[in-house]
Amino acid sequence: MLPIDDSPIVRDGKSLILAMDHGLEHGPVDFEEVPEKLDPSTVFETATHDAVTAMAVQKGIAEGYYPSYEDDVNLLAKLNGTSNMWMGEPDSAVNWSVDYAAEVGADAIGFTVYSGSNHEVEMFEEFRDVQEKAREYDLPVVMWSYPRGQGLKNDTKPGTISYATRIGLELGADIAKVKYPGDPEAMAHACKAAGDMNVVMSGGSKTSDYDFLSTVEAAVDAGAKGLAVGRNVWQREDPTRILDALEKVIYEEESAEAALES
């Protein structure tokens, strides 16, 4: 793994990645309650907050909008992604190359791996190519490590999440993004299973301020090095308020309650 602490996508050893690839992964349904967010510039504006260490987007959004924000936002190029209309075993098309992402100005690479899927072998091989090419550019690689497939009934079981972080370490990721396994002990084990590789928690669908922040607090206490989040930030009416609180919980290790009060 790279000495990730020197990377621009890490602040004080932690990361807050703002993801906005939902238009591809989920479709416009994620924007129904916040139609103004269909304009990607609005989310790039949010990503200029000091707490955000990178913004994860697909190729078209990077090409079209990143040039206006390259001085204020670090780009995490999410290379693969599939629409919600795909009904087969979990898989993800590789939509752009590391070379092209570097040309567009990427500071880091993001790649989904669905271990346990019938497409695991080809996804591991694609990850190999991406990881080795990223090394040539000194770009850290964030693995969206999502065990998923017909054989996996529960993708947030503690053992499954520890397996997911370990797969990130084994395959050469610099950061693995995983779902919260439900309790702090399980998260702590998942972080241990990752060795020295950073683990960040996945945001998930929107919950209340307190529920969301207290889960982030528990994950950070358990050893997670931050968060990769989409809907729980940009689906809120006031994303700046939640980012102010996340800054306190993640970097200053304040409690969720204290962060919300101040």
Count, residues near ligand FBP per rule CB under 6 A: 14
Residue whose entry in the numeric block shows the structure tokens 């990223």: 134
- DSSP secondary structure string, 160-205? HHHHHHHHHHHHT-SEEEE---SSHHHHHHHHHHTTTSEEEEE--S
Q: Which of 21, 107, 217, 247 binds ligand FBP (CB under 6 A)?
A: 21
9 SS3 class = coil
Nearer to ligand FBP, 90 or 172 (CB): 90
Active site residue 192: no
* Phi, psi (deg, nearest 5) at residue 66: -60, -35
Q: Which is nearer to ligand FBP, 31 or 144 (CB)?
A: 144
CA atoms of 45 and 52, how far apart (whole Å):
11
23 scored as a contact of ligand FBP (CB under 6 A): no
> Which one from 14, 59, 177, 248 is the annotated catalytic residue?
177
User: Of the candidates 108, 114, 112, which has an alpha carbon nearest to the alpha carbon of residue 95?
Assistant: 112
For the record, the structure tokens of 89 come out as: 């075993």
Which 206-235 positions form the footprint of ligand FBP (CB under 6 A)? 228-232
Which residue is associated with the tokens 């993640």?
250
> Does residue 203 touch ligand FBP according to CB under 6 A?
yes
Minimum Å distance from CB 3 to ligand FBP? 25
Contact assessment for residue 168 and residue 197, using Cβ atoms and an 8 Å cutoff? yes
The residue (of 93 and 132) whose beta carbon lies closer to ligand FBP is 93
**Contact string (CB under 6 A) for ligand FBP, positions 151-190, x = contact:** ----------------------------------------
List residues with catalytic annotation: 177
**Binding residues vs ligand FBP (CB under 6 A):** 19, 21-22, 25, 56, 144, 202-204, 228-232
